[in-house]
Chains A and B, each alone.
Chain A
């Protein structure tokens, strides 16, 4: 290929959508842990239950705060009354667990039989006295992490729309704030307030483990930016206030519905930034937020350089190597951009769904990274076709394939290094602090195979007879 033919802008393709991913109902696995006073009720069939039971492994045994409302033949044929059935189940949940919110997860089946969950919820909510949030996280419309997006979009409607009056504010409704002010006296808090620049309230959205929430909050604090709240908070009762004109910023690339809801319904202003994944992403994310508030960021150069220096022992393992994303969790663009910065060539970025507006800054940054690092732009494939992708993998022979578990073992058996993509969803990958964890994951197959490389055990399937 000559240089002249190298594309200069990202090229987007769309395939058949025949790919493997997790069902979006899997978001209950991390959301029930994040929102401590919630209960998730998945209204679906045995198939949904079987998926959750197997996908969540050992979590299932820990008396999780989620359950299936398993639909039976009588529910499908409307011999049973949806409202009465849901009421019976929700009353049982209230009795056994007394949650602050019940989240109904609508599934493919409730879509097809057109069960009016949004209509039933307010009525039942009034009757049993527990808020019921409805999220349609089904496989007809969404993939994997988009499940969280549907839940957070629904929760955005439940955020209080008025800041409590000054007196009450001292009580600090918000968990992060509480943590940061832990045990300090009022005067100290007031003094600390002065550490912040005067800027309009900022609310971040996206579910992250608490340590990562603290890290990102502290990172912004260094710039004098105060995080007024997170969607979601640790408890449903602590959802952040969202007034018209508040600023919001996303921390994950799959939250486009939530972003849309915050803008259109809650009249918030969206800060469109790359996502804080990798030191480059984190820096760009902070810079963008600073620029919106007219703050000159301080110390970011050194901070980023210092993080990169700490990553060098990992980066040297992957520099100059190629990577292929089959695509299943929407983190692909951010990860590809970070890996390009690490010196890798990205051959293909498969992605279930591409919101070019919500991801605009991230896409621009990917393009820029490729140009600056002097590597070709990846092929972007929306709704990929796994069969075709496997053929391309055979042709391209990438050094690493980031893929779902359905393909990982078969590819390994054919001598192709793989990293299981779902781990990126559950590992802590955000902010400066966790950049190393991403590379720990990415390099693991390479490090393992370095250890085994002299054994001659690369290909462990018999050559297929060519007909």
Chain B
């Protein structure tokens, strides 16, 4: 047992659901107790989905414990198949249901006999993998299933596309700025004259998956999702995989050069150096920013970075290599992939921190007192407590991290966005500091007093006690309204009863 109240990565089934619901016309059925369908709330609230989240629960209750859930699961699958005609139904176990050790594989086979769509059982161990690993595995599983299905039917297309083309693998629902990143990557590919063969899983139909082998190469923009699929495609079809995250000016250039190398090896004749040069020096503002006086002021300032592998590693490199900021430590909660992280960042920071314990992170922040933090929502709150500004760079995230405006982190526009994020975090910190030194913006004494300041009325102790229970931001208003009410009715003392009578009268 572990004492915890915060976790950076969710349970395995969340990863499976994120991948399944990213696809078009795929339905997920959770084998779970009542209340475990919180995923639907998150998707509906955080990403403000207009459509019903295609996830239902085959509820595990007392009856299921007594009799097993075979009938129920099979019924629920066939029912959903008839109601919504999905192309694929993914049955997802949860931590609770996985202890029951029912033969879900067998239920899936039985349901498949009746269902018109395909039925799959998500193959993830809930006590060994987290959300991110499970998502990666589920995507691999679905791709493999449809490639093999097409192969069996002889429908697998032969050869590559005529022009250089790419599969973008790993864009998913509830991913950090994923939809903006996807648009930016498509734009980048268009600039490079590369066709986008497929984007998976977000918005893709499972019927398109058989076309994946036609791409010249696979681009996996995030370390956490898509690598298993890409290596499967590499093993099966020899499709090269590019896993350089195009985040930041230097890494974007590195990614583009790798693309150039990979497609030239397959007979294309492209040279992207001019494009990289043009973008770096004149289109993206990030390189110019590094030279500007603003950025000079940031030189040697202390920062800490924490997040998932992709974002924490990229941010560390940007801060240190592109802006001359002193990254005291960089950390990740992707413990299962810690070696990669260490290798990526160790030359760009003093210390590497690998942990899933938010307490340890909080302590480490307090210890070094950086000028700015780049982390998750949890670090943002640590920052609030310690009065240190924080830019949010990775999940877990809240609804404000699903902006409506265009805010990619990848590609050249991404470099602009990241520059703003970093610069704004630091200047805000500076401003705060100046305010403190000079004692606030407006140090002149206040002359006029508010209405509530001169009161002819007295509050009884119980009245005052009640008043103090009212949240601070409305307390003044309540106090004024109550006193006005008491004055109007000629009450001398204000007790709790008067307070509530006033509340009823004004209808506040």
Question: Which A residues lie at the B interface, using CB under 8 A?
Answer: 17-25, 43, 45-47, 49-55, 57, 60-61, 64, 66-73, 75-76, 80, 85-86, 88-89, 92-93, 108-109, 111-113, 138-144, 179-180, 182-183, 210-211, 214-215, 218, 306-307, 310-311, 387, 390, 404-410, 413, 432-433, 436, 460-461, 467
Q: Are A60 and B96 in contact (CB under 8 A)?
A: no
> Within the complex, what minimum Cβ distance (angstroms) separates B146 from chain A?
23
6 new A-B pairs (CB below 8 Å) besides A17-B34, A54-B42, A139-B34?
Answer: A20-B37, A21-B35, A55-B38, A139-B96, A144-B35, A406-B41
- Per the bound structure, the CA–CA distance linking A180 and B48 in Å amounts to 47
- B11–A46 contact, CB under 8 A? yes
User: Cβ of A23 and Cβ of B99 under 8 Å apart?
Assistant: no
Bound complex: CA A162 to CA B37 (Å): 45
Contact of A410 among B36, B51, B99 (CB under 8 A): B51
Question: Nearest-CB distance from B60 to chain A (Å)?
Answer: 7
Q: A69–B34 Cα gap in the complex (Å)?
A: 20
Q: Which residue of A lies closest to B35 (CB)?
A: A23
A61 to B99, CA, bound (A): 31
Contact of A140 among B3, B13, B49, B60 (CB under 8 A): B60
Q: Are B33 and A108 in contact (CB under 8 A)?
A: yes
Are the CB atoms of A23 and B3 closer together than 8 Å? no
B477 at the interface (CB under 8 A from A): no
Q: Which residue of A lies closest to B495 (CB)?
A: A218
CA A108 to CA B398, docked complex, whole Å:
27
**Is B5 part of the contact surface with A, judged by Cβ < 8 Å?**
yes
Q: Are A407 and B127 in contact (CB under 8 A)?
A: no
Are A112 and B65 neighbours in the complex by a CB distance under 8 Å?
A: yes
**Given the complex of chains A and B, what is the CA–CA distance between A66 and B32 in angstroms?**
24
Q: In the complex, are the beta carbons of A73 and B127 less than 8 A apart?
A: yes
Q: Which of B7, B32, B127 contacts A53 (CB 8 A)?
A: B7
Residue of A nearest to B13 (CB): A47
In the complex, are the beta carbons of B95 and A47 less than 8 A apart?
yes
- Chain B hits for A43, CB < 8 A: 1
How far apart sit A47 and B30, CA to CA, in the bound complex (Å)?
13
Cross-interface CB contact of B44 among A18, A24, A410, cutoff 8 Å: A410
Q: Which of A22, A24, A85 contacts B1 (CB 8 A)?
A: A85
CB-CB under 8 A from B4, the residues of chain A are 49, 67-68, 70
Contact B59 A218 (CB under 8 A): no
- Could you tell me if B1 and A86 are in contact, using CB atoms closer than 8 angstroms? yes
Q: Counting CB contacts under 8 A, is B10 at the interface?
A: yes
CB distance from A439 to the nearest CB of B (A): 10
Chain A nearest CB from B320 CB (Å) reads 29
Q: 1/0 per residue B362-380: CB within 8 Å of A?
A: 0000000000000000100
A89/B96 contact (C-beta < 8 A), A17-B59, A23-B36, A140-B60 known: no
Which residue on B lies nearest to A352, using beta carbons?
B34
> Which residues of the partner chain B approach A215 to less than 8 Å between Cβ atoms?
500
Q: Which residues from A are CB-within-8-Å of B94?
A: 47
The listed residue with most B CB atoms (<10 A of its CB), out of A49, A60, A76, A139, is: A139
For A88, the chain B residues whose CB sits under 8 A away are 1
Q: Say yes or no: B504 contacts A310, CB within 8 Å.
A: yes
A338 to chain B, nearest CB (A): 16
Q: Which residue of chain B has its CB nearest to the CB of A414?
A: B50
Beta-carbon contact of B5 and A413 below 8 Å: no
Let me know if A69 and B2 touch, CB within 8 A: yes
B35 partner, pick from A51, A307, A405, beta carbons under 8 A = A51
Distance of A409 Cα from B462 Cα, bound (Å): 43
| Cα of A60 to Cα of B7 in the assembled complex, Å | 11
A50 and B38: CB pair below 8 A?
A: yes
Bound-state Cα–Cα, A91 to B396, Å: 30
A303 CA / B195 CA spacing, docked (Å):
73
Cβ contacts under 8 Å, A25 to chain B: 35
What residues of A have a CB within 8 angstroms of the CB of B406 in the complex?
none
Q: What are the 4 A-B residue pairs with the smallest beta carbon separation, nearest first?
A: A23-B35, A139-B33, A406-B40, A413-B50
Judge whether A60 and B5 touch: CB under 8 Å: yes
Which chain A positions have C-beta within 8 A of B33?
A: 23, 108, 138-140
Does B100 reach chain A (CB closer than 8 Å)? Answer: yes
State the CA gap A119–B7 with chains docked (Å). 30
Q: Which B residues from 11 to 35 make CB contacts under 8 A with A?
A: 11, 13-14, 32-35
CB neighbours of B500 from chain A (8 A): 214-215, 218, 433
A-B contact pairs, 20 of them (CB 8 A): A17-B34, A19-B34, A20-B37, A22-B35, A25-B35, A46-B11, A49-B7, A61-B378, A73-B127, A86-B1, A108-B60, A109-B96, A138-B33, A143-B34, A179-B462, A211-B470, A310-B504, A311-B507, A387-B56, A461-B51
- B466 located at the interface, meaning its Cβ lies under 8 Å from any Cβ of chain A in the complex: yes
- Within the complex, the shortest CB–CB distance from A150 to chain B, in Å, comes to 14
Tell me if A50 and B6 are in contact (CB < 8 A).
no
Q: Are A410 and B52 in contact (CB under 8 A)?
A: yes
Question: In the complex the two chains form, what is the Cα distance from A52 to B53 in whole Å?
Answer: 20
Distance from A107 Cβ to chain B, minimum over Cβ atoms (Å) = 8
Q: Which residue from B11, B51, B62, B96 sits with its C-beta under 8 Å from A50? A: B11
Q: How far is the CA of A67 from the CA of B7 in the complex (A)?
A: 11
- Which residue of B has the minimal Cβ distance to A141? B62
- Chain B nearest CB: distance from A324 CB in Å? 16
Using known A-B contacts A140-B60, A210-B469, determine if residue A109 contacts B462 with beta carbons closer than 8 Å: no
Say whether B497 faces chain A, with CB atoms less than 8 Å apart.
yes
Answer whether residue B441 sits at the interface, using C-beta atoms and an 8 A cutoff. no
Which B residues touch A111, using CB under 8 A?
65
Check A409 against B504 for contact (C-beta < 8 Å): no
Q: How far is the CA of A70 from the CA of B3 in the complex (A)?
A: 6
Contacts of B507 in A (CB 8 A): 310-311, 436
B53 cross-chain contacts in A, Cβ below 8 A: 406, 410
Decide if B113 is an interface residue (CB 8 Å cutoff). no
A214–B467 alpha-carbon span in the complex (Å): 12
A406 touches B37 (CB 8 A): yes
Task: State how many angstroms separate the Cβ of A358 from the closest Cβ of chain B.
Answer: 20
Of all chain B residues, which has the CB nearest A412?
Answer: B50
State whether A408 touches B381 (Cβ < 8 A): no
Select which of A19, A112, A180, A405 is within 8 A of B100 by beta carbon.
A112
Q: Which of B35-74 contact A (CB under 8 A)?
A: 35-38, 40-42, 44-45, 48-53, 56-57, 59-62, 65
User: Which residue, of A19, A22, A61, A307, has the highest number of chain B Cβ atoms within 10 A?
Assistant: A61
Q: Closest chain B residue to A71 by CB distance?
A: B1
Residues of B within 8 A of A413 (CB): 50-51
A139 touches B10 (CB 8 A): no
Whether the Cβ atoms of B1 and A182 lie closer than 8 Å is: no
Docked Cα-Cα span, A460 to B2, in Å, equals: 45
Known A51-B35, A60-B6, A211-B469: A70·B44 in contact at CB below 8 Å: no
In the assembled complex, the Cα of A390 lies from the Cα of B99 at a distance in Å of 33
**Residues A64 and B5 in contact, CB atoms below 8 Å apart:** yes
Q: How many Å lie between the Cα of A352 and that of B493 in the bound state? A: 47
Which residues of chain B have C-beta atoms less than 8 A from A45's C-beta? 11, 95-96, 126
Say yes or no: A409 contacts B56, CB within 8 Å.
no
**Residues of chain B within 8 A of A307, CB atoms compared:** 504
Contact between B461 and A183 (Cβ–Cβ < 8 Å)?
yes
Which B residues touch A72, using CB under 8 A?
1-2, 127
**Chain B residue nearest to A53 in the complex (CB):** B6
| A406-B42 Cα distance, complex, nearest whole Å | 8
B128 touches A (CB below 8 Å): yes
Residues of A contacting B65 with CB < 8 Å?
111-112, 140
The answer to whether A218 touches B5 (Cβ under 8 A) is: no
Residue of A nearest to B75 (CB): A16
A residues less than 8 Å from B504 (CB atoms)? 306-307, 310, 432-433, 436
Please report the C-alpha to C-alpha distance between residue A26 and residue B38 in the assembled complex, in whole angstroms. Answer: 12
A residues near B32, Cβ cutoff 8 Å: 47, 139
CB A128 to nearest CB in B, in angstroms, measures: 15
* Complex contact A92–B51 (CB within 8 A): no
Which residues of the partner chain B approach A404 to less than 8 Å between Cβ atoms?
41
